[in-house]
Chain A
Amino acid sequence: MAVLTFREALGQAMAEEMERDPNVFLMGEEVGLYNGAYKVSKGLLDRFGPRRVWDSPISELGFAGLGVGAAMTGTRPIIEFMTWNFGIQALDQIVNHAAKMLYMSGGQFNVPIVFRGPNGAAHMLAAQHSQAYEPMLTNIPGLKVVTCSTPYDGKGLLKAAIRDNNPVLFLESEMMYGMKGEVPDEEYIIPLGVGDIKREGTDVTLIAWNKILHKTMEAAEALAKEGISAEVLDPRTLQPLDEDLIFASVRKTHRLVIVEEAWSFGSVGSQIADRVQKECFDELDAPIGRVTNEFVPMPYNEAQEERTVPSVERIVAAVKEALYL
């Protein structure tokens, strides 16, 4: 099995799908000649040529909309946003058009498109480059929202997203592009809507995704040293959510802490908490804990940024609270 960086795994996913289906093309800022702002698309222009790898103007709303029209008429675009912070410029096309086309047309026009790019805070990028959008994006019917936390997951999920006949929003992270992990040499697909247990445990369920999953794993390690067995669950797809996997884990551990690198108000975590209290009320031995970003725009200062996002310490503390320790 090969060890690849996240960016290589994602690049491989795109290359394999472009190889497999001549209707798949990539468009975005710097994806071609520059080889990608974060080098995810490195080598694709050389391999597939300018007809299938398009450098766009800095014009998110425009090229997102172009993708929608192209997807309605037989092609399968991958639209890269340099970051989802710029992707919100394209919200009209994503929310009002891509998400609604199938519905408004009574099932006639589906939009097989992937919008992808990094999401959430990186390092000292301040307020306009550090936002986690999954709460906003999962709120729209007609869209699938996918995150990934390992190179293995990233490749398998992105391939599934490209083959999906619906609009899929694919959330990555700048901080993870250099992360290495094992990726099988043979082809594989990870179906959308299926979560994954990243660590088995018996005392408490921790739910996390994207890069905050790794801090959550660190917290689980720290807890293990204190004799607390935490199960760590990565939903991977946030819309639709693998509720069965979540309920099964809560029924096993009877305690739940949700960790997310996003604002807490009306978030994926609050939705999970609502569903679990409804479906697993009798199974819960403690109130559901949540660890989220502080409700402030991201500060630039390093120490302030660190305090804003969930830390290993805050996750450990939330688990102890759920265990009445």
Chain B
Amino acid sequence: MTAKKKTPLERDLLVKMYKDMALFRRFEERVGLAYTKQKFSGFCHLHIGQEALAVGVQSALRDTDYMLSGYRSHTQAIGKGISPEAVMAELFGKVDGCCRGKGGSMHMFSKEHRFLGGHGIVGGQTPIAAGVGFSIRYRNEDDICVCYMGDAATNQGQFFEAMNMAATWDLPVLFIIENNKYGMGTDIRRTTSVDALWKRALAFDMAHSDVDGMNVVTVHEHVKAIVDQMRKDHKPYLLEALTYRYRGHSVSDPGTYRTKEEVEDYQKNRDPIMQLERFMSEQKLATEAEFKAWDNEAKERVKAAEEFADNSPNPPVEELWDHVLVP
């Protein structure tokens, strides 16, 4: 799984990727802990194990590109530029949260960073992403819209409708299936007629591929090539990223429907942070002390984010009537 050949990527980029993955891992660990300490409630879906995808994709984009996601989007939101402080405060339902405490774990938004949610309806974000692609096309721009979804979203009718329109009308949407093999507690093979989800693209004559979503270098290079192509041809693309979540579907799910061996295999042999560490060490691009320092940096950053969220006030109760309609 480790990329063996010498990478063309700059050391700076690899370091940034490492730091971001460490930040995301530590952020989600801290979030899980805060949840069990009852600092916040509601649903909380962690992204631990899937960091290579968030980082590998984000590093291939530019700031003006748009992004939508499902309900497992804390780290993608941070990757897109929302501060860990604002995401943590949103989780805590505080006024300094990126949605002033009205969205919570499943609904992260930032207009400034072109992050359009955070959607709690499986597959609901897919036609909306097609609409973002429509706007881009309407204005003849060369941005692209990344639309993340889980494997289970590919069985929703909305997904098929969105794919059809995007393919028919050349809407520049990169649909990314984060295939972590389970739709909540159900093995995708028990609910899905195809053995590879990229095959869904065949029905729409849409460009497609799959990628090892546990290797950040592979993801970055693969997505960079896709995105470069999309900026030229403005056509949609379906990417199936094979990945794995270490935790249950949500914090309250122990994940007992999976074998211990399966989870351990990913954690011991395919962990995205470990893979990058091994690769950078082999290439003599970083030392053990540096990895340790970057990880500590991430821990400190996350600690600061939690303190910020702790100290942020609740929004005034009267704000509950705000934002129902634009005046």
Binding site for B on A (CB under 8 A): 25, 51, 54, 56-57, 59, 61-75, 77, 92-93, 96-97, 101-110, 141-142, 144, 165-166
Contact = CB atoms under 8 A, between A and B. Distances in A.
Contact of A104 (B102, B126, B136, B161): B102
A13 to B, nearest CB: 21
Residue among A54, A105, A141 with most chain B CB within 10 A: A105
Nearest to B128: A69
A110 B326 contact: yes
A101 B169 CA distance: 25
A69 B131 contact: yes
A66 B107 contact: no
Given A69-B128, A97-B128, A142-B324, A106 B161 contact: no
Contact of A106 (B99, B131, B134, B135): B99
B225 interface: no
B110 A74 contact: no
A70 B131 contact: yes
A72 B132 contact: yes
B111 A105 contact: yes
Interface stretch (B117-125, B244-252, B299-307): B117-125
B324 A103 contact: yes
Contacts of B132: 69-70, 72-73
B168 interface: yes
Given A96-B124, A107-B322, A70 B138 contact: yes
A101 to B, nearest CB: 8
B64 to A, nearest CB: 11
Contacts of B323: 102-103, 105-107
B111 A61 contact: no
A73 B135 contact: yes
Contacts of B127: 61-66, 68-69, 93
B161 A109 contact: no
Contacts of B270: none
B325 A108 contact: no
Given A57-B168, A72-B131, A106-B100, A65 B325 contact: no
B157 to A, nearest CB: 6
Contacts of A25: 138
Given A97-B119, A102-B324, A68 B165 contact: no
Contacts of B120: 96
30 contacts: A51-B138, A54-B169, A57-B165, A59-B165, A63-B161, A63-B165, A66-B128, A66-B131, A69-B68, A69-B127, A69-B130, A69-B134, A70-B131, A72-B128, A73-B135, A74-B139, A75-B134, A77-B131, A97-B119, A97-B121, A97-B128, A102-B324, A104-B107, A104-B109, A105-B323, A106-B99, A107-B323, A108-B109, A108-B111, A109-B109
Contact of B124 (A72, A93, A105): A93
B185 interface: no
A30 B265 CA distance: 54
A166 B103 contact: no
Top-4 shortest CB links A-B: A69-B131, A62-B161, A65-B127, A106-B99
Contacts of A103: 102, 323-324
B325 A102 contact: yes
A109 B136 CA distance: 17
Residue with the greatest number of chain B CB neighbours at <10 A, chosen from A97, A107, A110: A107
Contacts of B131: 65-73, 77
Given A61-B157, A106-B98, A166 B326 contact: yes
Given A72-B116, A74-B135, A92-B124, A108 B326 contact: no
A73 B124 contact: no
B129 interface: yes
Contacts of B109: 104-106, 108-109
B32 to A, nearest CB: 23
Given A61-B161, A142-B324, A66 B130 contact: yes
Given A105-B109, A106-B98, A106-B102, A65 B162 contact: yes
A108 B99 contact: yes
Contacts of B172: none
Given A103-B102, A165-B326, 4 more contacts: A69-B68, A69-B134, A108-B110, A144-B325
A92 B121 contact: yes
A66 B117 contact: no
A97 to B, nearest CB: 6
Nearest to B130: A66
A59 B322 contact: no
B164 interface: yes
B209 interface: no
Nearest to A66: B131
B326 A109 contact: no
A64 B138 CA distance: 17
B204 to A, nearest CB: 12
Given A61-B157, A65-B162, A69-B116, A107 B100 contact: yes
A40 B323 CA distance: 33
Contacts of B148: none
B117 A105 contact: yes
Interface string B175-215: 00000000000000000000000000000000000000000
Nearest to B99: A106
Contacts of B129: 69
B115 to A, nearest CB: 10
Contacts of A142: 324-325
B168 A65 contact: no
Nearest to B138: A75
